Amino acid sequence: MPKKVKPAGDGKEEGPVPCKQVKVEAAGGPSPLNLDSPSGLFESLISPIKTETFFKEFWEQKPLLIQRDDPVLATYYRSLFRLSDLKSLCSRGMYYGRDVNVCRCVNGKKKVLNKDGKVHFLQLRKDFDQKRATIQFHQPQRFKVFILQLEGEKHWRLYHPTVPLAREYSLEAEDRIGRPAHEFTLKPGDLLYFPRGTIHQADTPSGLAHSTHVTISTYQSSSWGDFLLDTVSGLVFDTAKADVELRAGIPRQLLLQVETTAVATRKLSGFLRMLADRLEGTKELLSADMKKDFAMNRLPPYYLGDGVELSTPGGQLPGLDSTVRLQFRDHVVLTVGPDQDPSDETREKMVYIYHSLKNRRETHMMGNEETESHGLRFPLSHIDALKQIWNSSAISVKDLKLTTDEEKQSLVLSLWTECLIQVV
């Protein structure tokens, strides 16, 4: 079985990690989830397991099953989303494929039963009742905030991965994956984690009308391999400036050859060794896309409260005599990269700041072509001043490492206008 954490009757956890009791007055009352910050939300999600314990013992290593057995907590999660909520959401305009998939398992393979166009709740309910279909509701965070097993029960079977931390969906035949390594039933309020690549099956136990649960998929494109691909282009960009060999042309006809020649392979191997040596002494890696994509595709801060608008800054205007601090740190990234201005032929390095404060929840992760990045760009000469702001709880504008007072004022005004800093 995966590691189980289950509070005992006296409120103490059976296991190595002390149980932190969560008080919930009633469904619709105070949330048992900490919405003050992303890290606080995650910690309350996996409670009573501590964040450090989770990443040390379970993350990308083995499954974790948290069975809370708390009827009050279960009632709270049932209230967050129900099958009946789909009726009102359908009336708002949802479409097959984009918002909803209807599918079922036939002879061990997934079969999609989608219709064309707009989703109608009566048809959805018919497929669910008569065909025992599974309704997959995509990106529900656009409409609700909810997680975990919500309604009914779900019987799970986990199998050892054929490819650990696999990036692709497993196509192994059912008779080749062997017996389940873990088998259990999730009830409302329970949480299950398993590493990417874990082969899994789930079904609603007989006798139950339906089951509602949420799958949170994360870190799909955040491996060391992804990071290497993201940073190697910037490393080559820098190295080519200093090494004429990287600026020399490749042999004629090389691109027309079917197989790579031994000469080309040896040349590339030498370049890779040279890049590895250069990387050892590098402090500033140029991120091509990962940091930008992270900010572009992140939800805006949830914990701002209803009615808070981030399109315009608030509070006191910063000046030379002000003390400022960074805000929304978990939603802001700072990176260095080549100038993206197509009119600048010199391609000098620039400092880029990307954030998710103005991202739209209703289009989150929907592949919308209108998705845009929000942020600022500064000359590389501003990097030390920006690091001061990033690394300080608060800093005087006068103390920023810039040449002139005008540069200092311009920097903090730009950050304030983008709602990234506040005067303290």
Give the phi and the psi of residue 403 in degrees, each rounded to 5.
-70, -45
Answer yes or no: do 188 and 336 share one domain. Answer: no
Of 214, 244, 271, which marks where a domain is finished?
Answer: 214
User: For the chain, how many structural domains are there in total?
Assistant: 3
Q: Give the CATH number of the domain where residue 132 resides.
A: 2.60.120.650
With 60 as the cut, is the pLDDT of residue 27 above it? no
d(CA 159, CA 175): 12
Answer yes or no: do 51 and 188 share one domain. Answer: yes
Q: Give the CATH number of the domain where residue 301 resides.
A: 3.90.930.40
Answer yes or no: do 300 and 182 share one domain. Answer: no
Answer yes or no: do 208 and 256 share one domain. Answer: no
Segment 211-216 mean pLDDT: 72
Answer yes or no: do 57 and 189 share one domain. Answer: yes
Residue 29 has a pLDDT of 54
Answer yes or no: do 366 and 262 share one domain. Answer: no
287 confidence band (pLDDT: 50, 70, 90): confident
Which of 39-48, 224-233, 350-359 comes out lowest in average pLDDT?
39-48
Per-residue pLDDT of 99-151, as tens digits, reads: 888 888 777 677 888 888 898 888 888 887 778 788 887 776 655 473 356 66
Answer yes or no: do 131 and 231 share one domain. Answer: no
Of 174, 190, 214, which marks where a domain is finished?
Answer: 214
Q: Check: CB of residue 77 under 8 Å from CB of residue 189.
A: yes
**In a domain? residue 22:** no
Answer yes or no: do 277 and 305 share one domain. Answer: no
Crossing angle of helices 224-242 and 262-280, rounded to 10°? 90
Answer yes or no: do 251 and 341 share one domain. Answer: no
Answer yes or no: do 312 and 380 share one domain. Answer: yes
**In a domain? residue 102:** yes
Of 237, 260, 281, which marks where a domain is finished?
Answer: 281
What residues make up the domain containing 241?
224-281
With 50 as the cut, is the pLDDT of residue 225 above it? yes
**In a domain? residue 28:** no
Q: What percent of the chain has pLDDT over 70?
A: 80
Question: Which tokens is 285 given?
Answer: 């890696």
Strand 191-193 vs strand 64-66: parallel, antiparallel, or unpaired? antiparallel
**In a domain? residue 16:** no
- Rounded CA Rg of the chain: 26
d(CA 402, CA 165): 45
Three-state secondary structure readout of 83-132: CCHHHHHHHCCCEECCCEEEEEEECCEEEECCCCCECCHHHHHHHHHHHC
Answer yes or no: do 63 and 185 share one domain. Answer: yes
Segment 27-38 mean pLDDT: 66
Answer yes or no: do 100 and 136 share one domain. Answer: yes
22-31, 103-112, 360-369 — which one is most confidently predicted on average? 103-112
Segment 298-322 mean pLDDT: 74
Segment 81-104 mean pLDDT: 80
pTM of the predicted model as reported, rounded to 2 decimal places: 0.70
152-161, 275-284, 366-375, 391-400 — which one is most confidently predicted on average? 391-400
